[in-house]
A and B are shown apart, each in its own frame.
Chain A
């Protein structure tokens, strides 16, 4: 149990285009989803926290107009990188947390497999 998927697993796009990445909790309902960006050999950088049905909370330094996050349902959150540039190329990972009282630990997160974005 506790499977989180991401789609696509990798994407290549031209500079100036927008890219949408989906994060789904497949066998549980996620009240909270986190979006991270990972740089080579470095730790994860938390970009934003999204709660179902409300606006995402962005970390300092993350442009909310560039990285649009939507958490429309308890099983789906999307990250849209708008007007992508080569410096946005990175590995993006989401994680999802379960509902209180569910079969999973409330204070743990389940990570998706990540999405590799390459902007040419």
Chain B
């Protein structure tokens, strides 16, 4: 059972326009959400996060929105730049029964920003 889903494997947008990457989750116990960006042949790097008690977090061109009732979060990139072309992973944090934290990842969405 995949608890974190990124249903769009790829997305293509024009430079200067908005990129919206979506992520859905099923476990209401997730308390923290993160987005990672990955370039080819490199490991993912942290981009932005949001606590489950908030509905929006903004950092420069990147904004993450959280809709808890819909169990949905999205990453907005405005304006999109060719250098944003990468694979974006959504991850959710969960405190396990043992009290430790665990990350669950989606399968990623490949974003291509065309000049």
CA distance A114 to B105 in the complex (A): 10
Chain B count of residues within 8 A CB distance of the other chain = 27
Do B40 and A107 have beta carbons less than 8 Å apart? yes
Q: Which residues of B77-92 are within 8 A (CB) of A?
A: 87, 89
Which residues of B does A touch, CB under 8 Å?
A: 9, 32, 34, 36, 38-41, 43-46, 49, 87, 89, 93, 96, 98, 100-105, 107-108, 110
How far apart are A47's CB and chain B's nearest CB, in angstroms? 9
Q: Provide the residues of chain A in CB contact with B105, threshold 8 Å.
A: 111
Do A116 and B40 have beta carbons less than 8 Å apart? no
Majority SS of interface residues in chain A? strand
Contact A107/B38 with A46-B43, A116-B96, A116-B98 known, Cβ cut-off 8 Å: yes
CA distance A109 to B32 in the complex (A): 21
